[in-house]
A = this chain, B = another copy of it.
């Protein structure tokens, strides 16, 4: 939530000369993204987002992220379109950092998602999965089951200060997930972070998916499980089966889950819970003193994980049992 690098107007205007985006009229640093500097540009041709990549996202990964967005746009998925410069590149250097320009998507993310929003994101996620099938680049998911042990090691010593017994709970759960994690489900490009603040709507109509820095190749149904966690619980953390039904039915209308995916889904949902539980826990335990940004509550995902532990089949997620193959 910051701008780490300022850019002089002259430097930016010079940079834009190598793009076909018109004359610069204004630019504002926007309070989004905790790792990069983002600017909203107005030009004579429209609105764009300029991102300066500050860290963590290595320049090596930019071809994947930016290439994926271009690939998805070309297949009709509403996501930001990376602009190519006159050399045909989707990123170049500005203020000493890799920089990219994407077109600005109008729309607002829903602070209070309703059933229509959940259906919209289900359909869009499935369309993204289908459109990503022939994307040629591959990026490993560093925050899947292999990465969780390292996160737990970081968080374990002080985990019980957040909630008594949390360390043992996480250890037991992680052992179970490692032992049972599926390896034979359909894979492809996943967004891996499709929370409400990454999905724009105009009214109840979805206008775009944004923010792909966690995108990678992994099991498609795991991405569905991440979304279910992010969209289908109420602020009091009760599970909303109506929203889940709308979300899953809309997804399956585009890409039906296989029998194996359905059978594994409660386990994938547990994995999706522990993944966000662990990163939030590490962030929570390592907030710099006097930090401006309030860390997200890890306990929210303890509650979600416990819910999924109680689930026995897709019926518990609100999906009609009749739809399940024998």
Interface residues of A (CB under 8 A from B): 1-3, 6, 8-10, 12, 24-32, 40, 42, 47, 104-112, 200-202, 288-292
Contacts and interface: CB of A to CB of B under 8 A. Distances in A.
B9 A109 contact: yes
Nearest to A108: B9
A282 B266 CA distance: 57
7 contacts: A1-B3, A2-B2, A2-B292, A9-B110, A25-B107, A26-B106, A291-B292
B2 A31 contact: yes
Copies per assembly: 2
Given A31-B3, A111-B9, A289 B289 contact: yes
Given A2-B292, A3-B31, A42 B106 contact: yes
Please provide the 3 A-B residue pairs with the shortest distance between their CB atoms, ordered closest to farther: A290-B290, A9-B108, A29-B31
Chain A interface, DSSP helix/strand/loop, else mixed: loop
Nearest to A104: B26
Contact of A111 (B10, B26, B40, B202): B10
A106 B30 contact: no
Contacts of A202: 25
A11 B106 CA distance: 17
Contacts of A47: 42
A202 B24 CA distance: 8
B32 A28 contact: yes
A202 B2 CA distance: 25
A287 B235 CA distance: 36
